[in-house]
Amino acid sequence: WADLSESSPDGLMPRLANQTRGERDAEQGRKPAKRGGRIPNRAGSAEGALESLKDQDLCEVRLIVATQPSMVKSVPGKTPEIMEVGLTGSDNMTKLEWASERLGGEIEVSDVWQSGQDVDVVGVTKGKGWQGAVKRWGVKILSHKNSKRRRQAGNLGDFGTGYVRKTVPQAGQMGYHQRTELNKRILRISNPEESEITPAGGFLNYGEVNNPYILFQGSLPGPSKRMLRFRDPIRPRPESTEVVLTYVSTSSKQGV
């Protein structure tokens, strides 16, 4: 190999092509995100970079955001989840100004959505492990006179085809998949100081709610304490009805 000139991007040399981003950041003195939600301080001025973007022709504006798990006592994780999200709006300049105002600050759910709106929820479902064809695909259990096994598909296909088609129900991994639930209606966005939501004894496998919360209509993917992401509905309903929430039960759910 041979070193490239200093004018190459970031002074990258061929022998460093297989370096990870963490190794490069460590050599340049950059620290990764630490426990407690701290974000690395990148070199340069973010405000100056945003001002220079206003003079350019932009096609899209996206945000790099991070969670703050240290603020939620019931969540065991302490390392923030960093992700990229898009912005919706009339034009790119409006979106850029909105992002500039909230740079380095917190984005509340109430800043984006309100009660009665529909959102798409993205999450990872509960993991079931390796399951058979009956539990995984709901195939019929064969007769008690069947030879060898009963909890299996009838056959894997014809003799002529040289492979097993993907439509044949077989055993495999069930659960722990990323899924998107469409058009989940928001019933309430509030906090425990305004309206208590924690039942007597706390939520099962979670505990008490001490932070702002969102109340949805229906179920959401995944177990307790797993992160969920929200987005504007990609297939919105033609009409949305007003939500009138009259009563929320806070009785104990233990043993129910």
Sign of the C-alpha dihedral, residues 184, 187, 189, 193? negative
Give 188's pLDDT tier (boundaries 50, 70, 90): very high
The domain 31-107: what is its CATH number? Answer: 3.30.1430.10
Give the tens place of pLDDT for each residue, 41-73.
555 566 677 777 777 788 888 899 999 988 888
Give ranges for CATH 2.40.30.10 in the chain.
111-121+178-256
The pairs formed by 209-213 with CB atoms below 8 angstroms and a separation of 24 or more are 209/74, 210/73, 211/71, 211/72, 212/108, 212/109, 212/110, 213/189
Whether the predicted pLDDT of 114 surpasses 70: yes
| 189 membership: H or E segment, kind and range | strand 178-190
pLDDT at 145: 92
What is the arithmetic mean of pLDDT over 124-144? Answer: 96
Give ranges for CATH 3.30.1430.10 in the chain.
31-107
**CATH class name, domain 111-121+178-256:** mainly beta
pLDDT at 129: 98
Cα distance between residue 13 and residue 2, in whole Å: 8
pTM: 0.75
Q: What are the strands, taking DSSP E only, across 31-175?
A: 62-66, 82-86, 118-124, 127-131, 172-175
What is the arithmetic mean of pLDDT over 17-29? Answer: 69
More confident: 136 or 8: 136
pLDDT at 13: 47
pLDDT at 127: 98
Least confident stretch, 184-198, 223-237, 238-252 = 238-252
Give the tens place of pLDDT for each residue, 163-185.
999 999 999 999 999 999 999 99
Give 19's pLDDT tier (boundaries 50, 70, 90): low
Cα distance between residue 220 and residue 208, in whole Å: 19
